[in-house]
């Protein structure tokens, strides 16, 4: 698609834009679903400087802080979405295109909010939005996820993994004093991580992905979110640690842009037991 035009149901509100869209995705977030009364919404993002309204001016509605939705005041068709977080762009509803067949979606976003009865088999990648826990939730499912994900270390690492000593109360305290993030789907946790701000760095711990959901990019999505949190906190580095025996993890960290930066020893050990990895943000 190289530029395009679109209109509302009654044809009063029209638009035009130039150039190829920046992205094209299906959104499953609750606010978009409620705004359109549809199970999901199909968007294309275009540069604000290449976009113009060519018909009647749309009406606008501030649907959430920093978000404005444009719609036709006559027929009610939802036309566009704008957020203060991305002032350089405007998101258009793909079904309003004069030629909606030109739309080429590349994935699903906010998949963690999709409706349970929705069944899709388009083969497109799905992207989840991590959710921050407050510490007031039931932490047992998160604890079980961590323990299951770390169980393979038993008999391999010395000393044994700290996951054995971790409790639901510990996770709740880390959520209150630091940050605990989870990717879940229909209420079931699929992946999690603990973030601890430290001087000059954001430390990542207990990064875990549930069996059956590995190799789907969930760990990478969490690490990308950790990088965004580090930038928001003004911290220039991400830091992770791995046991010296887990060379497979070391290779995975390197593939995700982390570099080995040092070694540490657990109390009572006269040899390195952990390797530290860092990544600039």
From edge to edge, which strands make up the β-sheet containing 14-17? 4-7, 14-17, 51-53
Q: Averaged over 163-178, what is the pLDDT?
A: 94
4-127 with 131-280: one CATH topology? no
Give me the percent of the chain exceeding a pLDDT of 90.
90
Helix axes 168-177, 140-150, angle to 10 degrees: 110
Q: In whole angstroms, what separates CA 68 from the centre of its chain?
A: 21
For domain 131-280, give the CATH superfamily: Gcn5-related N-acetyltransferase (GNAT) (3.40.630.30)
The Cα–Cα gap between 257 and 281 comes to 10
Residue 41 pLDDT: 95
Quote the pTM value: 0.78
Q: Averaged over 62-70, what is the pLDDT?
A: 93
Check if CATH label 1.10.287.610 holds for domain 4-127. no
Give me the percent of the chain exceeding a pLDDT of 70.
100
pLDDT tens digits along 239-274: 999 999 999 999 999 999 999 999 999 999 999 999
Give 76's pLDDT tier (boundaries 50, 70, 90): very high
pLDDT at 2 over 90: no
Q: Count of CB atoms within 10 A of residue 35's CB?
A: 18
pLDDT at 130 over 90: yes
pLDDT at 216 over 90: no
Reported as half-sphere exposure (CB side, CA atoms, 13 A), residue 270 has a value of 0
Residue 191 pLDDT: 96
Residue 215 pLDDT: 85
Domain residue spans of the chain: 4-127, 131-280
């Amino acid at each position: 698609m190289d530029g395009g035009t679109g209109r509302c149901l009654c044809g009063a509100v029209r638009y035009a834009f130039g150039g190829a869209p920046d992205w094209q995705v299906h959104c499953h977030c609750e606010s978009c679903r409620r705004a359109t009364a549809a199970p999901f919404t199909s968007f294309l993002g275009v540069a604000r400087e290449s976009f113009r309204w060519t018909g009647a001016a749309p009406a606008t509605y501030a649907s959430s802080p920093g978000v404005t939705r444009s719609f036709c005041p006559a027929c009610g068709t939802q036309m566009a979405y704008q957020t203060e977080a991305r002032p350089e762009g405007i998101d258009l509803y793909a079904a309003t295109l004069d030629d909606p067949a030109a739309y080429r979606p590349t994935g699903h976003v906010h998949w963690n909010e999709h409706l349970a009865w929705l069944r899709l088999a388009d083969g497109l990648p799905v992207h989840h939005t991590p959710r921050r826990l407050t510490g007031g939730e039931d932490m047992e499912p998160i604890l079980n996820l961590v323990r299951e994900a770390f169980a393979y270390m038993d008999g391999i690492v010395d000393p044994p993994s700290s996951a054995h000593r971790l409790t639901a109360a510990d996770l709740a305290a880390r959520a209150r004093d630091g940050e605990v993030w989870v990717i879940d789907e229909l209420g079931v946790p699929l992946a999690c991580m603990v973030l601890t701000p430290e001087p000059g760095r954001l430390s990542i711990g207990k990064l875990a992905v549930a069996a059956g959901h590995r190799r789907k990019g969930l760990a990478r999505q969490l690490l990308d979110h950790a990088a965004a949190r580090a930038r928001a906190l003004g911290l220039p580095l991400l830091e992770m640690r791995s046991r010296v025996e887990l060379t497979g993890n070391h290779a995975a960290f390197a593939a995700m842009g982390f570099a080995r930066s040092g070694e540490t020893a657990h109390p009572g050990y006269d040899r390195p037991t952990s390797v530290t990895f860092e990544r600039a943000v």
